[in-house]
Amino acid sequence: MHNHHTPEQKMLADGVDRFVREHGRFEHWRKLSAGGAPYDEAHWQQMADMGWLALFIPEAEGGIGAGPAEVAIVAEGLGRGLFRGPYISTCVMAVRLLTQAGQAPQKRLFEGIADGSVRVATALGENGAHFRLDSVQTTAKPSGNGFCLDGFKPWVPDGDTAQWLVIPARTEGPAHQAEGISLFLLPADTPGLHRTDFRSPDHQHISQFELRGVEVPPLALLGPKGQGLALLQDAVDHAITARLAEACGAMDEVCAMTLDYLKVRQQFGTTIGSFQALQHRIVDMRIACEEARSMLQLALDGLETGGVDGQRAVAAAKARVGQCGLYVGYQAVQLHGGVGTSDELAVSHYLKRLSMIDMAFGNADFQRDRFMALTDATLPSPHLPLPPTAQEQTA
């Protein structure tokens, strides 16, 4: 992927590398975690000052108007430094949803997102959904001129720092039906919205939201009523690709720190990096990193292609990068020995982060099933006549 950078992308990558070297210190990460801070606000403001938060915002709305490739450069650097923050939830997923919805009231949020003062979270998960975006049990019933929302969202990353929430809710039809899902944008302090915060295994900040008779006006509706699933899937695919870039950055850093450890750790009077068996394992880790990077490029190409083929590319990339990330993480911990599992060593936290990235938006098993479902959808129906063969046409 680095070999395909344009001069502008190379400048961006150099800036991200410099930022990570200066601020991506594990000691600082541990201090933030111990203090309970969701992320470093000073670092977030620096990212805003450098224009990274406005990267994906269209030029017509005051942003830079960059594409997924530039977003991936930033996300990869954040993965290398194990940075926490709502970059993907706000600056990728929420921006994509607001852009595609194309409604004037929501566009005013772009200025706040760009300067770092506004954060937006999307409440995707529901009990029993198993990563399916069409499994929505939260309801939005007509109430006066607007809607009344009721439901439960058990897993909302970055929900505790968000001023705005995107809530998928069903305006008609049963769960698991594509039609009838609508998206609503509402302030996080809306009456009837109850939040509970907790942490994930990798110390990310997660929230649960219970909606009890939440009244919202008609302007809260994002996009056409009952047709929100397509908008949601498109935004999720962009967020998935950014997460894959984050995973590639984390994997590269894990390989580097593992190689450094093999060069200094001694056993039987010599460094363990001189053992051929361990050399083979570090090579296998590097191969997995390159394979993951190739799949990231496939996902980026899929976003440009769009349609079912693009979704299949993203699903395939998500499945394979998840497997590669877990392989690299587990190998790194094993090569560090027992100390690799300790809280004091960074490699254990990179493994936890890679594990959560694999789970985000559906793990490898789910993405393989999604890939097959999308493949089946493109095949001719058995109830329809197949196109004539060359021999039949000749006859």
CATH number of the domain within which 348 lies? 1.20.140.10
Angle between helices 276-305 and 228-264 (to 10 degrees): 160
Q: How far apart are CA 117 and CA 235, in angstroms?
A: 22
Range of the domain at 326: 230-378
Question: Tens digit of pLDDT for each residue in 228-264?
Answer: 999 999 999 999 999 999 999 999 999 999 999 999 9
Question: Tens digit of pLDDT for each residue in 297-342?
Answer: 999 999 999 999 999 999 999 999 999 999 999 999 999 998 899 9
Among the candidates 74, 94, 116, a domain finishes at: 116
Q: How far apart are CA 382 and CA 395, in angstroms?
A: 24
pLDDT at 388 over 70: no
Question: For residue 235, is it within any domain?
Answer: yes
Question: For residue 125, is it within any domain?
Answer: yes
Task: Report CA Rg, the chain.
Answer: 22
Question: Tens digit of pLDDT for each residue in 160-211?
Answer: 999 999 999 999 999 889 999 999 999 999 999 999 999 999 999 999 999 9
Question: For residue 394, is it within any domain?
Answer: no
Instruction: Work out how many domains the chain is built from and give that number.
Output: 3
Question: For residue 385, is it within any domain?
Answer: no
pLDDT attached to residue 395 = 47
Question: Tens digit of pLDDT for each residue in 16-43?
Answer: 999 999 998 899 999 999 999 999 999 9
Claim to verify: residue 239 and residue 361 sit in the same structural domain = yes
As given in the structure block, the two tokens for residue 380 are 């001719």
Q: What DSSP letter does each residue of 101-122 carry, written as one string?
A: H--HHHHTHHHHHHHTS--EEE
Q: How far apart are CA 353 and CA 75, in angstroms?
A: 14
Claim to verify: residue 146 and residue 187 sit in the same structural domain = yes
Among the candidates 226, 249, 272, a domain finishes at: 226
Cα–Cα distance list, 358 to 66, 272, 328, 365 (Å): 26, 30, 12, 10
Question: For residue 393, is it within any domain?
Answer: no
As given in the structure block, the two tokens for residue 78 are 């954040």
Claim to verify: residue 242 and residue 343 sit in the same structural domain = yes
Question: For residue 383, is it within any domain?
Answer: no
> Taking a C-beta distance cutoff of 8 angstroms, is the pair 82, 349 a contact?
yes
Question: For residue 278, is it within any domain?
Answer: yes
CB atoms within 10 A of CB 78: 25
Claim to verify: residue 271 and residue 366 sit in the same structural domain = yes
pLDDT attached to residue 225 = 95
Which CATH number belongs to the domain containing residue 61 in this structure?
1.10.540.10
Question: For residue 384, is it within any domain?
Answer: no
Cα–Cα distance list, 354 to 83, 89, 169 (Å): 13, 17, 30
Percent of the chain with pLDDT over 70: 94
Which CATH number belongs to the domain containing residue 154 in this structure?
2.40.110.10
Claim to verify: residue 212 and residue 249 sit in the same structural domain = no
Q: Which residues pair with 208 in a beta bridge?
A: 196
Claim to verify: residue 257 and residue 291 sit in the same structural domain = yes
Give me the count of residues in the chain. Answer: 395
Claim to verify: residue 131 and residue 109 sit in the same structural domain = no
As given in the structure block, the two tokens for residue 351 are 């493994």
pLDDT attached to residue 4 = 76
Claim to verify: residue 270 and residue 360 sit in the same structural domain = yes
pLDDT attached to residue 199 = 96
pTM over the 0.85 mark: yes
Question: Tens digit of pLDDT for each residue in 82-108?
Answer: 999 999 999 999 999 999 988 755 678
Claim to verify: residue 217 and residue 241 sit in the same structural domain = no
Torsion on CA atoms 63, 66, 69, 70, rounded to nearest 10: -60
CB atoms within 10 A of CB 120: 25
pLDDT bucket at 380, cuts 50 / 70 / 90: low
pLDDT bucket at 356, cuts 50 / 70 / 90: very high
> Taking a C-beta distance cutoff of 8 angstroms, is the pair 231, 223 a contact?
yes
pLDDT at 58 over 90: yes
pLDDT attached to residue 386 = 47
